[in-house]
């Protein structure tokens, strides 16, 4: 074997699964090279990462929802199960974190948002319109029983916190909505769902509509 052949084989070996294990020193040296990364690329990379993580969970659109959760709570549960932050979701849909936060917490109702904005979330979470409609109707049911007072709750350790009060309030609302039975669909909600359908179609997301 001449030198040229050895070098060629060395190159093939190192880029193959037969390569000897990479040591910390080698990895450190290669990774210490500085690579230019403009902020827009950082945001794009993060958005694509979030899409890939969700795509892995939902390779096919989610068509059925068993939970009686409002739309925002469903987004929150999926996000949390994937260990993603609200900021991750906001970057992936090109919105501010506050938008995601308010929708998740039920501080803003789906039909109070622009259909285009919610369509982006539905695209990201791969939610079929039928399932989205069901969740929006759950949001309507919760909204009907919603109280104006805040809940106070304390943990077993005895510490009261607004976070705990908030989650208790949301749980109570969902419980009451569940017992109240299906909400009468309001015209505004139905119209909004039609607009959502159009927004999804305009994005070419037919698999989430048909």
Partner 1 sequence: MDKDRAITLEEANSDAFVARLRAGDGKAFADLLSCLVPKLCGYLSHDFQLSEQDAEDVALDAMVKVHKSVAQFNPRGGAKLSTWVFRITKNAAIDFKRCQARQVAKAAAVPLDDAVSRQVDRKRAAEWFRRAAAGDDPAGHATLPQVIRVTRAMKALNEKDRDILILRQSMEYEEIAEVEKVSVEALRTRYSRALDRLRIELQKD
- Say how many C-beta atoms besides its own lie within 10 A of residue 8's C-beta: 12
- CA-to-CA separations, 166 to 149, 152, 162, in angstroms, rounded: 11, 8, 6
CA–CA distance, 155 with 118 (Å, rounded to integer)? 34
Minimal distance, residue 121 CB to partner 1, in Å: 17
What radius of gyration do the chain's Cα atoms show? 24
Assess 104 for contact with partner 1 (CB under 8 A): no
Q: Which residues pair with 160 in a beta bridge?
A: 154
Please tell me whether residue 29 binds partner 1 under the rule CB under 8 A.
Answer: yes
- With vertex at residue 108, the alpha carbon angle to CA 110 and CA 106, rounded to the nearest 5 degrees, is 90
* Position 83 contacts partner 1 (CB under 8 A): yes
**From the CB of 54, what's the least distance to partner 1, in Å?**
10
Smallest distance, partner 1 to C-beta of residue 168, A: 23
21 part of the interface to partner 1, by CB under 8 A: yes
DSSP state at residue 17: T
With CB under 8 A as the contact rule, which of the stretches 33-41, 105-113, 154-162, 179-187 interacts with partner 1?
33-41
Would you say 48 or 63 has its CB closer to partner 1?
48
Number of residues that bind partner 1 (CB under 8 A): 45
**If binding is defined by CB under 8 A, does position 64 make contact with partner 1?**
no
In the three-class reduction of DSSP (H, G, I as helix; E, B as strand; rest coil), residue 127 is classed as strand
CA distance 157 to 140: 35
98 binds partner 1 (CB under 8 A): no
Chain positions contacting partner 1, by CB under 8 A: 1, 3, 6, 9-33, 35-37, 41-42, 45-46, 48-49, 52-53, 56, 83-85, 87-88
């Amino acid at each position: 074997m001449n030198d040229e052949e050895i070098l060629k084989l060395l190159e093939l070996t190192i880029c193959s699964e037969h390569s000897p294990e990479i040591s910390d020193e080698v990895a450190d040296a290669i990774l210490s090279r500085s690579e230019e990364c403009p902020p827009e690329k950082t945001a794009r990379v993060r958005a694509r990462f979030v899409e890939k993580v969700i795509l892995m969970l939902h390779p096919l659109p989610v068509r059925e929802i068993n939970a009686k959760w409002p739309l925002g709570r469903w987004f929150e549960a999926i996000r949390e199960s994937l260990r993603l932050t609200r900021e991750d979701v906001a970057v992936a849909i090109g919105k501010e974190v506050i938008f995601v936060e308010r929708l998740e917490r039920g501080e803003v109702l789906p039909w109070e948002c622009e259909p285009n904005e919610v369509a982006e979330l539905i695209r990201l979470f791969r939610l079929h319109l039928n399932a989205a409609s069901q969740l929006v109707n759950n949001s309507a049911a919760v909204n009907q029983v919603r109280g104006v007072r805040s809940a106070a709750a304390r943990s077993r350790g005895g510490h009261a916190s607004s976070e705990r009060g908030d989650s208790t309030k949301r749980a109570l609302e969902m419980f009451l909505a569940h017992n109240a039975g299906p909400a009468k669909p309001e015209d505004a909600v139905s119209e909004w769902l039609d607009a959502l359908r159009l927004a999804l179609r305009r994005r070419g997301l037919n698999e989430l509509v048909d």
